[in-house]
Structure 1
């Protein structure tokens, strides 16, 4: 039996006791096969029991067969209407035994009905029906037997009542265990679905950050160079040509990175075709910034980092330089890279002042940087600094693999 998740369309395998569910849709199949087999077993087993109890109990007649069919046939609706079914089977079995018919598998119909209703969570109905059945049996076996068939019947022993009560308690205990396991399975399934939705949300957020960082930086460069090209198209065609060349290179690189990000959507789990960017590509950022008219000086060597930290560091520097191009009147920026005490410090400064013009950005640049840093357990400080201009300071913790890479890198330098 399978169930289909309403949101994702994914099919989850149902529990092994799924055919006892009380919340089955009305259009689902009735349990014909199990009910027919159970009915045949009850009728045949009652005939065998009647043969063994010949002379002690009344013979199986038309009424007895009708009661057996009612008790067993009612189980056909045990999924959809467990409460009425448990009372119908208990009443039919009680009338069957009260009429003096042979003991036998008729008890099984009550057990299955109680089990099904209890698994569905109807404790009160099960205890009520079970209590009525047991009380009725005690009443018939110890008092009303004098006036009920068969004639000359004697009172049942209290040991027999104890055995019946023990079976009732055992059935209820097993049903409770199954119900608890079923609820646990449903809870685990909901937790898995929630975890899958959370992973999907995180992946969408990651892709949104990547696209924002790639497009914001490249389009800012293209925007600046397009303005330069338009301004110099008539007076300095050669400089305009240089601006168009920069636009072509920036757009080509942006298209390549966007294609790499989108490839992860088309074929999830596949390895990327190109390595993720890192601080080793700071030189490319400096060249792109120079194409936008921004001179960038870099202080400090790019360390070897874990892939996640390396990508986050690159994107933070890229977004910080993009903001300088967009919002600062300064044409010079400084990038400082420090690694000490298990942390990576990235500082990007410009001399300002802010232009105050609308650069057409989404306004999510600083928020994206903070999210990247927070995902690694780091922090971002951004704002005006005392000397004028604007400063972005990122502090990222180094993972164990990053620190090992740093030590490995220094050892290799010493070997050389």
Structure 2
């Protein structure tokens, strides 16, 4: 692992050590500066070095109390400038504190402290050196405080920018995860709807035909055998549709060609035959001019008819049902009616069938309504949009 990375991680867990580190170069530089003469080196002024070291002690807690540390270090530095006016440097500990205040504090607090510190530094230097407040050396001290604060604000702005960028990235990632969860939920609902349609329809027919076979097994073996044949046919159809549904989940796309195993409106007559074999008379009627339709619309219409007839056979106690496919210029209306009555309900349903029909219709831009028919019985009406015909040239 990189040594610098290890060092940074160690400092991140030791705030006091990190805050005190700038004191080391500050003391070293001040000590070396006091040893510089006009023409040669001489022994450092140890009193100034010691005073500088003492003024750096508050830096240990500069991250916790930046404003207090700024006031203390600047006061100590200004006292040092007044006591040793020939010292060339400004209060370095105070500049470090100003930088820290600019990074951690508010903009107003940082620049207010900077302005006061700049005026104080320039004023003390001018007073101790008998110079004008606008002299070059006095203005240099003024600029040092400005530079420390400006550097701190630049670091603060950069950190804020990186934090906002990180927040945007996390928000985008969260939105992607939420979108993925939403799609997974929609896919689960679609799979549950398909399996419900397939299983409920065929199991209902198999159950009805098994009851017929059991009832006629001794009295009329031929009809019982015929009912058993229908059970075999419906169970095989159920397996085929289940296999096709599972196969769709393995397809890389949802192109129309991948829906070949799924039943369509052309298979409604065969669907009606299955219900007739179980004792429900079903009549299929088509009106209007059949128009081209998408595979999704055709599958939706078929499933709605299938579910409506299944509900009729299971719950309505009906003996007859009628399916009407009315093709209009822009929509296909599917109507399923029966002659059942509320008093003849055979069992309570879960309500998933009607929910599934509405979800299917909504998915292709259509609507479904269900309720008692005007002449008794129950009626399901679905309006499904048809694709616009291409304009003739």
Structure 2 residue aligned with 1:306: 294
Q: Is the 8 A contact 1:224 1:292 kept in 2?
A: yes
Structure 1 residue 41 displacement after superposition: 10
Return the alpha-carbon distance in structure 2 between the equivalents of residues 260 and 39 of structure 1. Answer: 71
**Equivalent in 218, 232, 239 of residue 234 of structure 1:** 218
Match of 1:371 in 2: 359
Aligned partners of 1:68 and 1:92 also within 8 Å: no
Say whether 1:343 aligns with 2:326: no
**d(CA) in 1 for partners of 2:45, 2:113:** 20
Cα shift readout 1:191-236 (whole Å, capped 9, x = no counterpart):
2222222222211211121121111111110111111011111112
Residue pairs, 1:53-72, within 5 angstroms = none
The structural deviation recorded for 1:379 is 1.5
Q: Distance in 1 between matches of 2:109 and 2:31?
A: 26
SS in 1 for 2:284: strand
- Separation in structure 2 between the aligned mates of residue 268 and residue 96 of structure 1, nearest angstrom: 76
Closer, same or farther in 2 for the Cα pair 1:356/1:61, shift >3 Å? farther
Number of aligned positions between the proteins: 357
Structure 1 counterpart of 2:85: none
Question: Aligned equivalents of 2:285 and 2:10: distance in 1?
Answer: 75
Q: 2:236 — aligned with what? A: 252
2:265 alignment partner in structure 1: 279
Provide the residue aligned with 2:169 in structure 1: 185
Query: CA separation in 2, counterparts of 1:68 and 1:257?
Result: 81
Unaligned runs of 5+ in 2: 39-43, 82-88, 129-135
**Counterpart mapping for 1:12-27 below 5 A:** none
Q: Partner of 2:64: helix, strand, or coil?
A: helix
Deviation digits for residues 78-119 of structure 1 (CA, Å, limit 9, x no counterpart): xxxxx638669968986896667578899789768965x6xx
Deviation at 1:320, TM superposition (A): 1.0
SS at match of 1:221: helix
Larger mean CA deviation between 386-395 and 327-336 belongs to 327-336
Aligned counterpart in structure 2 of residue 289 of structure 1, from 252, 275, 279: 275
- TM-fit CA distance, 1:315: 0.9
Structure 1 length as normaliser, TM-score?
Answer: 0.66
Counterpart of 1:203 in structure 2 is 187
Q: Which runs of 5+ in 1 are unaligned?
A: 1-18, 20-28, 76-82, 118-124, 409-416
Q: Which has the larger radius of gyration?
A: 2
Q: Deviations over 1:93-146 (max 9, x none)?
A: 86896667578899789768965x6xxxxxxx4447735762563265134558
Q: 1:30 to 1:192 in 2, by over 3 A?
A: farther
Deviation string 1:136-160 (CA, Å, 9 cap, x unpaired) is: 6326513455899xxxx95344455
How has the CA–CA distance of structure 1 residues 145 and 342 changed in structure 2, closer, same or farther, with 3 Å as cutoff?
same
Contact 2:123 2:138 in 1 (8 A): yes
Structure 2 vs 1, CA of residues 154 and 107 (structure 1 numbering), >3 Å: closer, same or farther? closer
Tell me the equivalent position of 2:201.
Answer: 217
Query: How far apart are residue 303 of structure 1 and its match?
Result: 4.8
Secondary structure of 2:381's partner? Answer: strand
Residues 108 and 378 (structure 1 numbering): CA distance in 2 closer, same or farther, change over 3 Å? farther
